[in-house]
Amino acid sequence: MSEPQNSTFRPRIFSGIQPSGGLTLGNYLGALKRFAALQGGEAETIYCVVDLHAITVWQEPEQLRMRIREAAAAFMAAGVDPAKSVLFNQSQVSAHAEMAWLFNTVARVGWMYRMTQFKDKAGKNSENASLGLLAYPALMAADILTYQATAVPVGEDQKQHLELTRDIAAKFNHDYKVDHFPITQPLIEGVATRVMSLRDGSKKMSKSDPSDASRINLTDDADAIAQKIRKARTDADPLPGSADGLKDRPEARNLVNIYAALSDETVDQVLARFEGQGFGAFKPALAEVAVASMAPITKAMSDYMADPAEIDRVLADGADRAEAIARPILDRTKDIMGLLRTR
């Protein structure tokens, strides 16, 4: 059997974000900002609030409902336009869960145990983790392949899951001797593919980190942003003149990367301006750039959140459009596997 020719698939971009907490600057720079930039190109763009992923760890039901709407508001505030992209929440399109079950029979248990996100999130007591947390990457593969998506913009942390999606597609195509699924390309691009915690340069910035000081939330106001940047962990050395000089300085590198990503400059351009200066000068400049970039997004989010009925309408319309693409691909998958469909 030959490798599937991705050129035979229609160019389609899919990506999602979990409503497992308030979204962060990491989600914005690693995902949302790029989702918006990819609209209007050759590829159709499909974006999803992946609520079925969020419930792989405990979520308070009332809070989850609010966070799903808030994540949808964040997508739109960051520039995802429901007229240009399909925007919806995963649980409203049942094809995702159905395809995930089919993939549970394709993926191997050993593949799942190797996932670093499972190891991190399950911790020492992995026997007590939900079965959903272990199967998470099969659901992610289903999200992507239910649309035969050819490319997925993600942050660096999702690279391993993307590789597993490719493995599932390849095994399915091989086992059933078809070219049904594309081998999806990860789009991990830019200087902010891995924004780190403000408190610990070895950990990524994460919405579920117990320390609020570790992240900038998309709902933080100007004072909170400035204060978190002021208190961010750094070292005592002045900034170097080029990116090479940041190699062994994870906290310093993180702040410079954030500045570069927010101001759409390269790291070297930023360093050319700040060479020789300490964090006493750099942090207020970063705070200014961060507040200027984030304030319009925070404001737009709160405007969208003032009208939850409109968010629900956008998500319902997106779910209808997503369903129209997903259902025939799911049906064809069932046919290939020999499942009988009589209606």
Residue of 14, 18, 75, 301 that binds ligand AQP (CB under 6 A): 18
Q: Give Rg (Cα) of the chain.
A: 21
SS3 129: coil
Sequence-ordered list of residues with C-beta below 8 angstroms from that of 174, at least 6 positions apart, any chain? 1
Among the candidate windows 25-33, 36-44, 171-179, 291-299, which touches ligand AQP by CB under 6 A?
A: 25-33
Binding mask 213-252 for ligand AQP (x = CB under 6 A): ----------------------------------------
Contact 93/54 with Cβ under 8 angstroms? no
Residue 275 C-beta-side C-alpha neighbours within 13 Å: 12
Binding mask 111-150 for ligand AQP (x = CB under 6 A): ----------------------------------------
Residue 342 CB, shortest distance to ligand AQP, in Å, is 37
Binding mask 181-200 for ligand AQP (x = CB under 6 A): -----------xxxx-----
Can you read off the two tokens belonging to residue 290? Answer: 């961060």
Show contacts of 286-290: CB within 8 Å, 24+ apart: 286/229, 286/255, 286/258, 286/259, 287/225, 287/226, 287/229, 287/230, 289/259, 289/262, 289/263, 290/25, 290/216, 290/225, 290/229, 290/258, 290/262
Neighbours of 273 (CB within 10 A): 12
Give the full edge-to-edge strand order of the sheet including 85-89. Answer: 85-89, 44-49, 12-17, 151-153, 185-187
Residue of 204, 228, 233, 253 that binds ligand AQP (CB under 6 A): 204
- In this chain, which residue has its C-beta nearest to ligand AQP? 30
Nearer to ligand AQP, 15 or 298 (CB): 15
Rounded Cα–Cα distance for residues 52 and 297 (Å): 26
* Residue 159 annotated in active site: no
* Residue 228 annotated in active site: no
Of 20, 26, 144, 150, the closest CA to residue 78 belongs to 26
Nearer to ligand AQP, 29 or 145 (CB): 29
Among the candidate windows 13-21, 124-132, 143-151, 332-340, which touches ligand AQP by CB under 6 A?
A: 13-21
Residue of 44, 157, 220, 251 that binds ligand AQP (CB under 6 A): 157
Residue of 208, 211, 277, 302 that binds ligand AQP (CB under 6 A): 208
Residue 48 backbone phi and psi in degrees, to 5 = -140, 135
Can you read off the two tokens belonging to residue 179? Answer: 């070219």
Catalytic residue among 84, 121, 171, 334: 121
Catalytic residue among 33, 119, 177, 207: 207
Q: According to the binding rule CB under 6 A, does residue 92 interact with ligand AQP?
A: no
Can you read off the two tokens belonging to residue 170? Answer: 């390849």
Contact 234/175 with Cβ under 8 angstroms? no
* Residue 334 annotated in active site: no
Can you read off the two tokens belonging to residue 227? Answer: 């204060």
Token look-up 């942090």 returns 283
Rounded Cα–Cα distance for residues 313 and 304 (Å): 12
Catalytic residue among 119, 159, 171, 204: 204
Token look-up 């200014």 returns 288
Q: According to the binding rule CB under 6 A, does residue 22 interact with ligand AQP?
A: no
Among the candidate windows 19-27, 124-132, 285-293, 313-321, which touches ligand AQP by CB under 6 A?
A: 19-27
Residue of 12, 69, 166, 207 that binds ligand AQP (CB under 6 A): 207
Residue 93 CB, shortest distance to ligand AQP, in Å, is 17
Nearer to ligand AQP, 4 or 155 (CB): 155
Footprint on this chain of ligand AQP (rule: CB under 6 A): 17-18, 20-21, 24, 26-27, 29-31, 154-155, 157-158, 192-195, 204-208
Q: Which residues are catalytic?
A: 121, 204, 207
